[in-house]
């Protein structure tokens, strides 16, 4: 599998690993109750520091490490 670039606002911010997945961190409550069903989605952060900086609830909720698996790119956009 070749590496696919991750583009945000027209800029490359990363790329998928050769393994086809990325790991990140989420609020534990979001993972338990919101992942897959929340309108507007949920946030996954690239580091524990980034998660703690952006989510004030972590001391109360805790956090989980997640793995996001690449399946396909059904629409690549107008890159």
d(CA 79, CA 32) in angstroms, rounded, equals 34
Q: Is the pLDDT of residue 2 over 60?
A: no
Q: Is the pLDDT of residue 16 over 70?
A: no
Pick from 67, 69, 18: nearest CA to 46: 67
| CB contact set of 3 (below 8 Å; sequence gap of 6+) | 15, 16, 17, 18
High-pLDDT (> 90) share of the chain, %: 44
pLDDT at 58: 97
Q: Is the pLDDT of residue 56 over 80?
A: yes
Pick from 32, 60, 63, 29: nearest CA to 46: 63
Average pLDDT over residues 51-66: 97
Report which of residues 26 and 73 the model is more confident about: 26
- Partner residues linked to 21 by β-bridges: 69
Q: What is the pTM of this model?
A: 0.71
């Amino acid at each position: 599998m070749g590496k696919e670039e991750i583009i945000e606002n027209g800029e490359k911010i990363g790329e998928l690993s050769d393994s086809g997945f990325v790991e990140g961190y989420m609020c534990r409550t979001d993972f338990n109750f919101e992942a897959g069903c929340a309108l507007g989605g949920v946030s996954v952060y690239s580091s524990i520091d980034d998660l703690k900086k952006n989510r004030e609830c972590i001391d109360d909720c805790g956090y989980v490490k997640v793995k996001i698996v690449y399946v396909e790119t059904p629409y690549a956009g107008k890159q």
